[in-house]
Amino acid sequence: MKIVVLDGYTENPGDLSWDELAKLGDVTVYDRTSYVEDPIIAERIGDAEVVITNKTPISKQTIDKCPNMKLIAFLATGYNVADYNYAKEKGVLVCNVPTYGTACVGQYAIALLLEVCHHIGHHDKTVHEGKWANHIDWCYWDYPLIELDGKTAGIIGFGRIGQTTGRIAKALGMKVLAYDLYPNDSGKAIAEYVDLDTLLAQSDVVFLHCNLTADNEKMINKANIAKMKDGAILINNSRGQLIDEQDVTDALKSGKLGAAGLDVVYTEPIKADNPLLTAPNCIITPHMSWGAKEARQRIMDITVDNVKAYINGSPINVVNK
pLDDT digits (tens, 9 = 90+) for 75-85: 999 998 999 99
Nearest-angstrom CA–CA distance, 140 and 142 = 7
pLDDT at 240: 98
pLDDT at 97: 98
| CATH annotation of 2-100+293-311 | 3.40.50.720
- 239 catalytic, yes or no? yes
pLDDT at 303: 99
Range list for CATH 3.40.50.720 in the chain: 2-100+293-311, 102-284
- 268 catalytic, yes or no? yes
For 257-315, the pLDDT digits (tens) are 999 999 999 999 999 999 999 999 999 999 999 999 999 999 999 999 999 999 999 99
- Greater confidence (211 vs 109) lies with 109
Catalytic residue among 239, 245, 296, 298: 239
| CATH class for the domain made up of 102-284 | alpha beta
Mean pLDDT of 2-30: 98
Catalytic residue among 44, 119, 209, 287: 287
* 170-174, 212-216, 222-226, 304-308: segment of lowest average pLDDT: 212-216
Asked whether the beta carbons of 243 and 264 are under 8 A apart, the reply is no
**Alpha-carbon distances, residue 93 vs 63, 71, 171, 241, 315 (angstroms):** 11, 5, 42, 26, 8
Asked whether the beta carbons of 233 and 217 are under 8 A apart, the reply is no
Nearest-angstrom CA–CA distance, 125 and 107 = 23
